[in-house]
Amino acid sequence: MRVIIDQDKCVASGQCVLAAAGVFDQRDEDGIVVLLNDNPPAELHEDVRQAAAVCPALAITVEES
Amino acid sequence: MTGPNRIVVVGAGAAGLTAAEALRNRGYDGTLTLIGDEQHLPYDRPPLSKQILAGTWEPDRIALRGNDPLAKLDADLLLGRSAVGLDMATRQVLLGGGDRIDFDGLVIATGVTPRSLPGADIAGIHLLRTLDDALSLRAHLLDGPAVVVVGAGFLGAEVAAVARGMSLDVTLIDPQPVPMYRQFGHRIGELVGRLHTDHGVSLRCGTGVRRFLGAAGRVIGVELTDGSSMDADLVVVAVGAAPAIDWLAGSGLPLGNGVECDTHCQVAPGIYAAGDIASWHNNHFDTRMRLEHRMNATEQAMAAAGNLLGADRPFAPVPYFWTDQYDARIQAYGIFPADAEITVLHGQPTSRKFVAGYGHHGTMVGVLGWNSPRELRTLRQLVVDRTPWPPQASVSATAIAS
């Protein structure tokens, strides 16, 4: 799995961190998404798919390999 | 009992598309029909009053899905088609033009229609709901008009901010004492008002529109209920929206403030609703609600799709929503009743970086963050946990530290 984020689209909702805290974080100053791991392990895949699905800004793309 | 194998989703916005996708993700392999009344491929609405109106994004940026995911959906995508009726006896959706589509599972996601005002049918007066509305409004803003925005809720306040960003003269009118009064109450509304006046908006609160002034079929001004009037070359009417339930009249489904669902987003056996149109009982707050928020469209659509396929899970979220105006990002979790009490949990309102908590009937029901995304996300837990109100002073510090 490869995870791609779009910081320009991100609205700092933090939904991705709620869904998959080990993969996403938010910048201190403005809450914009930070990707901690663009190739997360299998046990986190479902959480990452959930994060992408609920992102209200469509800022997360998941490429399944 | 076998599950449905002819599912129809009416409405191709965020809720409808998400429902269709969630059905497939859950393994549904029957026929799937997605009906939308606009010609455009499914697109996202929050940027319409922000980046699209400001011209910083092209329309292709707001496509909800690319072509590949849409093709993978394996759905009949009927665009530019309106549902005009629902026949419960034959289990069919009626389309304009006379087609009937059979279903054994239905998701209703037709959203809302913007309200207008009497006399607003003259040139120069705009509503904003669709991409075409946004592009038309932007084109007219580029002419450099004097702008009057009627209604200082989410939409009106965002439009005013964008218009000021284009250096236009902007007047923002609302009959409530402060902007966003219904959403967040007096104290936060006052801060929103100051934000707009600081950016040069002429704010006229506590007064409504008596009538639009026109000449040769075109708006030239607005007369207010306080007797004053002002010139206007362009007016945006942003006075809320009504659930798009007309096509369901006479169907026998329970209609009121939207389509009335139970705790599981079910309207009737095999029939679910999601997004702006759906009113349902949220167990977390033990109250009926209908939300016109982007996040809810996704979450409710996923819940409705799951329950249509037998998941049997109540939909009881802590709602999330946000608005961007100038340099202010205001985000909120929960509900914000008109008679809620409010207290600052973190930061300082004067520094425009803070989180406020809202209490109602002895429980914390909402948290609102102003330019404080990380702190707000942490303090959301206080709402999830139904923290007693008023909160102890240590509660927010502990939550943020954890």
ipTM: 0.94
Interface test with B, best of A58, A61, A62, A63 (most B CBs within 10 A): A58
Q: Select from A30, A31, A53 the Cβ nearest to the Cβ of B298.
A: A53
Of 3.40.50.300, 3.50.50.60, 3.20.140.10, 1.20.1070.10, which CATH number belongs to B6-113+242-308? 3.50.50.60
pLDDT at B266 over 60: yes
What residue numbers bound the domain in which A57 lies? 2-63
Average pLDDT, chain B: 96
A34 interface with B at CB cutoff 8 Å: no
pLDDT at B109 over 90: yes
- Tell me which chain B residue has its CA closest to the CA of residue A62: B69
Domains of chain B, residue spans: 6-113+242-308, 116-239, 327-401
The confidence band for B339, taking pLDDT boundaries of 50, 70 and 90, is very high
pLDDT at B13 over 60: yes
Across B277-286, average pLDDT: 98
pLDDT at B162 over 60: yes
pLDDT tens digits along A11-41: 999 999 999 999 999 999 999 999 999 999 9
pLDDT at B390 over 60: yes
* Topology annotation, domain B116-239: FAD/NAD(P)-binding domain (3.50.50)
Q: Is-same-fold flag (B6-113+242-308; B327-401)?
A: no
Query: A46: domain CATH number?
Result: 3.30.70.20
pLDDT tens digits along B216-254: 999 999 999 999 999 999 999 999 999 999 999 999 999
Per-residue pLDDT, B402: 60
CATH class of B327-401: alpha beta
Tell me which residues of chain B, numbers 357 to 386, contact chain A at a CB-CB cutoff of 8 Å: 371-374, 376-377, 380
Across B105-122, average pLDDT: 98
Across B54-70, average pLDDT: 95
A21 interface with B at CB cutoff 8 Å: no
Per-residue pLDDT, B1: 52
pLDDT at B358 over 60: yes
pLDDT at B5 over 70: yes
Residues of A in contact with B305 (CB under 8 A): none
The confidence band for B400, taking pLDDT boundaries of 50, 70 and 90, is confident
Higher pLDDT, B402 or B59: B59
A30: distance to nearest CA of chain B, Å?
7
Termini Cα distance of chain B: 47
Per-residue pLDDT, B399: 74
User: Quick one: three-class SS letters along chain B?
Assistant: CCCCCEEEEECCCHHHHHHHHHHHHCCCCCEEEEEECCCCCCECCHHHHCHHHHCCCCHHHHECCCHHHHHHCCCEEEECCCEEEEECCCCEEEECCCCEEECCEEEECCCEEECCCCCCCCECEECCCCHHHHHHHHHHHCCCCCEEEECCCHHHHHHHHHHHHCCCCEEEEECCCCCCHHHHHHHHHHHHHHHHHHCCCEEEECCCEEEEEEECCEEEEEEECCCCEEECCEEEECCCEEECCHHHCCCCCCEECEEECCCCCEEECCEEECHHHEEEEECCCCEEEECCCHHHHHHHHHHHHHHHCCCCCCCCCCCEEEEEECCEEEEEEECCCCCCEEEEEEEEHHHCEEEEEEEECCEEEEEEEECCHHHHHHHHHHHHCCCECCCCHHHHHHHHHC
pLDDT at B259 over 80: yes
Q: Select from B61, B298, B322 the Cβ nearest to the Cβ of A54.
A: B298
Total number of domains in chain A: 1
Q: Which residues pair with B240 in a beta bridge?
A: none
Cβ distance A12 to B373 less than 8 Å, yes or no, reads: yes
A13 interface with B at CB cutoff 8 Å: yes
